[in-house]
Structure 1
């Protein structure tokens, strides 16, 4: 049974889309439509078959009452924080809040609810400036984060313990990589496609991209399709090792370090790690390193040898062979395929910068 077949046989994954008076309707409803149309729209168009989406998106607000989003768009929530069903994913969409205006306690009820959902095993995600609220939960401490480029400086001052990366379109962090952030503007497309790829499969993420005419090179959900498999919370020892690996995967002998951190015998550690994550500790480290390498290949011109060193491989030849075996492309082929957006943005920005200089 394929992963997609397995998901299709189960109840749909419940995704809570948080709605507030500062939510922007385009991102909130865009994500809602994207998730509800997963599998359904493609099958209707290509196979003339009526199927249900593997996602159940629900709009959730503090009290469940009708509200008006930013720009006065009416929203009718499905539920309140108090009566919302159990959820698999919580998404904070873009918030029209000034980066220079402290959030204070305005949405502390929502932040507390998000923390509780995370502790129950849910994935938390933010689109663009929604990272303001995700950061308010305190769950990003010590992790990487991203948001709209115009917000990262202010977020860095307010949350200095978070390693803000404005140049990254998408960042995952936390235990089991269950904190997901997309960056500027329409990168909510990348967030939606990433969630589809992670929970349903890369093939269906590609179908959604083709159905909606998303620029595949811009969103590149396949870049994130092999991200860490989640769902393990039952083994706190392994969870602690995962958290450590997320920050130190580029060091020497990370598996041996995790064994020491666990306090377990090596064979016991290997067995429990595989049971909890579905991967051997070494494969887990390789996956973390390769996902970082993908982002470096997408976003810049650093030589492949330097990227290998950056993510923890001293042998660039080994890195290249491993990358091709795991990804299906050489690092150079991957850069050519998924680095298109960066070149396009550079070509567009250069004339504007020249005009601004005058």
Structure 2
């Protein structure tokens, strides 16, 4: 990739922010406001000497009022039928219904995105916007990221697209033109990346300060809650999982598990891994770390005490394991996720 200085453009880049009924208004409006800030906020405009690097428009299949997923209406400013060129396409977060993503609902949009890509546009998804973009086939075989809560549903719908929900931002393609961001507020990272790429690092830093946006530099692993797979249909393994859910802190839990399952150790380990997708020891470790995360968030207990309560006698080993699985030390995790003092109800 070229440096930020090399990427700065001399004309405003046209940004097409795609609106569909499933779109989440907070993501759509947030992206619009931040990328449009250079055009409407003097403090942002001054960074680039009064020049606005982007012209942002909300686009859709027709230019008219549209009710989004939260039933809040917005106005689609421009129909895609009137757009034969755009520089950046962004599909914001979408809210999946209980039945999952329904393919084929927006053939005009899918065809239009493919055409814009062939004419040089960057194609970007924020969070679950990847569901719509995956229908174009552009992401087939390309690494991408999506909200971790939708990762399994996405893999089921689009097995040809490798997704990494623990990653904040993934940039791929021959021209680095296929860009996806992960869970929810990582649209901050997407927008700051686009600003840095096309207006320079200084502009991105200024916007981050003005809006108090944050780069999620530690990744998304700290945010992901582990829930062991239970829909595999192996009754013996399900029995072991149910027992483990309240006994993960005991000594030698794996030995106890295969006894409860009524299987030999070798058979149990093979069937457990096949059913859940992780080895028994990894499953135990994830349950223990998940419980430790809750204790760090909700109590003032020392880390050494928490280590012992979740099943580890050696605090040093627990600290290393916690850092490896979450990307943060226990102390850093507590500082980030516990409710700050100023937000706690007054004890008086």
Q: If the length of structure 2 is used for normalisation, what is the TM-score?
A: 0.59
2:108 match: secondary structure: helix
What residue is the counterpart of 1:289 in the other structure?
A: none
Partner Cα separation in structure 2 for residue 90 and residue 46 of structure 1: 23
1:177 match: secondary structure: coil
What residue is the counterpart of 2:113 in the other structure?
A: 114
Indicate yes or no: 2:162 matched with 1:163. yes
Partner Cα separation in structure 1 for residue 126 and residue 334 of structure 2: 23
Computed over aligned residues only, the root mean square deviation of the Cα atoms, in angstroms, reads 3.2
Equivalent positions of 1:74-223 (< 5 A) are: 74-84=73-83, 86-98=85-97, 100-216=99-215, 218=216
Partner Cα separation in structure 1 for residue 193 and residue 139 of structure 2: 19
Q: Is the 8 A contact 2:4 2:196 kept in 1?
A: no
Shift of 1:78: 1.7
Instruction: Tell which deviates more after alignment, 72-81 or 131-140.
Output: 72-81
Equivalent positions of 1:244-283 (< 5 A) are: none
1:56 match: secondary structure: strand
Equivalent positions of 1:1-16 (< 5 A) are: 7=8, 10-16=10-16
Partner Cα separation in structure 2 for residue 124 and residue 157 of structure 1: 22
Shift of 1:11: 2.1
Q: Is the 8 A contact 2:37 2:45 kept in 1?
A: no
Partner Cα separation in structure 1 for residue 45 and residue 157 of structure 2: 49
1:171 match: secondary structure: strand
Work out the number of aligned pairs and report it: 231
* Cα deviation digits, residues 172-209 of structure 1 (max 9, x gap): 12221101000001000011001111111111111110
Shift of 1:102: 3.2
Partner Cα separation in structure 2 for residue 165 and residue 156 of structure 1: 10
Equivalent positions of 1:57-72 (< 5 A) are: 57-72=56-71
Distance 1:206 1:349, change over 3 A: closer
Q: Is the 8 A contact 2:171 2:179 kept in 1?
A: yes
Partner Cα separation in structure 2 for residue 17 and residue 158 of structure 1: 24
Q: Is the 8 A contact 1:189 1:219 kept in 2?
A: no
2:128 match: secondary structure: helix
Q: Is the 8 A contact 2:59 2:77 kept in 1?
A: yes
Unaligned runs of 5+ in 1: 221-334, 352-358
Distance 1:93 1:344, change over 3 A: farther
Shift of 1:107: 1.7
2:205 match: secondary structure: helix
Shift of 1:47: 5.7
Distance 1:69 1:46, change over 3 A: closer
1:72 match: secondary structure: coil
Distance 1:142 1:49, change over 3 A: closer
Q: Is the 8 A contact 1:181 1:191 kept in 2?
A: yes
Distance 1:347 1:159, change over 3 A: farther
Distance 1:341 1:125, change over 3 A: farther
What residue is the counterpart of 1:18 in the other structure?
A: 18
Shift of 1:108: 2.0
Partner Cα separation in structure 2 for residue 340 and residue 17 of structure 1: 34
Q: Is the 8 A contact 2:87 2:120 kept in 1?
A: yes
Partner Cα separation in structure 2 for residue 114 and residue 343 of structure 1: 45
2:197 match: secondary structure: helix
* Cα deviation digits, residues 217-268 of structure 1 (max 9, x gap): x369xxxxxxxxxxxxxxxxxxxxxxxxxxxxxxxxxxxxxxxxxxxxxxxx
Unaligned runs of 5+ in 2: 219-322, 340-348
2:14 match: secondary structure: strand
Q: Select the structure of larger CA radius of gyration.
A: 2
2:90 match: secondary structure: strand
Distance 1:50 1:72, change over 3 A: farther
